Amino acid sequence: EDVVAGIRTPKPIAALAEELPQAYKQFEQIARKLERHYRDVQDMEFTIERGRLYMLQTRSGKRTAEAAVKIAVDMVRERLITKQEAVLRVEAMQVDQLLHRRIDPKASVEVLATGLAASPGAAYGTAVFDADRAEAMAAQGEKVILVRIETNPDDVHGMIAAEGVLTSRGGRTSHAAVVARGMGKPCVAGAETVHVDLTKRRFTAGGKTIKEGEPFTIDGSTGRVIAGQVPMLDAEVSGELEELLRWADGFRRLEVWANGDYPHDAERARGFGAQGIGLCRTEHMFMEQERLPIVQRMILSPSEDERRRELDRLLVFQRDDFYGILGTMRGLPVVIRLIDPPLHEFLPSLEDLLVEVTRAQALGRPEREWAEQSRLLDAVRNLHEQNPMLGLRGCRLGLLFPEIIEMQTRAIMEAAARLTKEGVDVQPEIMVPLVGTLEELRRTSEVIDRTARAVLSEQRVAVAYLVGTMIELPRAALTAGQIAESAEFFSFGTNDLTQTAFGFSRDDAEGKFLLKYVDEKILPRNPFETLDRDGVGRLMQIAVDEGRAARPSLAVGICGEHGGDPDSIAFCEELGLDYVSCSPYRVPAARLAAAHARLARVERDR
């Protein structure tokens, strides 16, 4: 009782060997016996009275993530348990913890607010409220955290430079969350009690105001926003973890691929054991600062000829991007998704432009000073949609402007042809997004195949490639048998499939009502975190069955954020998918989860 109450500080067990050597020897023998019997680390209570040892109780010992891995591997080496048992004893989420910096559990912290745990890991830095400033300050060696109401593709360069990201709006599949996870950066999203004032460059939370340049900490594993700097523990990938994951690879059937948009993503993914790139998002490449003006000129071009001139400039950048990522993944497949977001995302916001032009007019400035902004405003108005997520995007964009698809296909195939000539084995797979009908895919595939044939003829080289589609609309899932006539592979885009199946806005639902739904058991789980088996899962089952009935060789995977969730991975195993694809930093945990899923299925089928 004194020890539990903190009145006395116990001595280390090694001290017993010196003070009561006979009792220590007896305790050591009993401890070995108990560990061998229970085949697990034991938490034992004992007492010694007049030199005699009395064992009071024993139970399996609690352990940290690091200890769980080390204990499992050590017990295999001691031949107490099998490799299969070792793999099953470590949870996928424990592996995930080991790959990210985390706050020291002993540290005392002042929590200002709690949002959504959108991307794991902890980060410390000074508050910065726009992406350009974040990039500039980081270039001077300062650690910064990017604070936004919500992020968009314009902010990517600032997110790359920042230590972490905090947003007051958005959910676990919002832009900030998805991009941060892909980069392995901590992110707290949807912290609605954090009031962000972008004009005054400050935020208020928990009765405290943090101004630009002032320090604070975020914990993306718990969603906490914390005042000041707190002690942290660095991530470590031990030899024991690598060995455990190699054992897991021997038990799993599902391949584990990674989502990655740049060569450094691909390199990191390979290092973590990824067997391919399941989603390379080309639009993120468009948002880089030297390319964005070209993209904007392309969008604003009044004619196809002018549009093609700007696309020719973009071709050089895209070709280099694909050369890098295909080369890094040599010998492994790379699924490249054609442009997906609506065009207005590449232009300044309607509200900002309206304020600029109105202010210039009110101040009576010469028209030449604001003519360009006025032209941009007209273009943004023309592209404005009430519901852009279900508007002119994905394959619809490519069908209206086929020259965009031609440029992207040419960039992919020219990069692949160059690498092939250099003796590098490349496996490009071109993925068409937001397909709802067979005819959409067929017509897009015609543009892709025509362009690919032209490039390979020019380069005098043969390169095998596949053309497939994302299944992210209920209609696509329900008509998968038809779509498989033209698709060589399916990849479930489960973020949008969940959104369209439920009719939930993935950017708004978590912050408004979804978490209350989960708390009050209206929904058993957050469907943006773990796949909804009854609804979305049923659509997936139909798509797999009908797709493979029409095309037995059809490869099927998943590239939404569910690809890193252990329960969703188990469902993918049941569906018979070929692979799951997730953020690079989630690959090790996904490898272990895939092994767990396979072993559980084998056990059930006995």
SS3 for 560-577 is CHHHHCHHHHHHHHHHCC
CA distance 173 to 528: 7
Active site residue 187: no
CA distance 97 to 69: 12
Instruction: Identify the three-state secondary structure at position 118.
Output: strand
Residue 417 CB neighbour total at 10 angstroms: 20
CA distance 472 to 494: 6
CA distance 63 to 405: 52
Edge-first strand listing for the sheet containing 202-205: 195-197, 202-205, 208-211
Query: Which residue in this structure is represented by tokens 């609804």?
Result: 535
Give yes or no for a contact between 583 and 182, defined as CB atoms under 8 angstroms apart. yes
- CA-nearest of 299, 332, 346, 355 to 426 is 332
Alpha helices in 503-535 (DSSP H): 509, 515-519
262, 303, 408, 415, 467 from 419: Cα distances, Å:
17, 34, 17, 6, 19
Active site residue 37: no
CA distance 176 to 170: 8
Which one of 280, 395, 559, 582 is the catalytic residue?
A: 559
SS3 for 11-80 is CCCHHHHHHCHHHHHHHHHHHHHHHHHHCCCEEEEEEEECCEEEEEEEEECCCCHHHHHHHHHHHHHCCC
Residue 172 CB neighbour total at 10 angstroms: 24
Which one of 100, 175, 344, 562 is the catalytic residue?
A: 175
Calculate the CA 292 to chain-centre distance.
24
Residues forming beta bridges with residue 96, ordered by sequence position: none
CA distance 263 to 146: 24
Residues forming beta bridges with residue 467, ordered by sequence position: 430
Burial class (CB in 10 A: 0-12, 13-18, 19+), 400: exposed
Residues recognised as catalytic: 175, 559
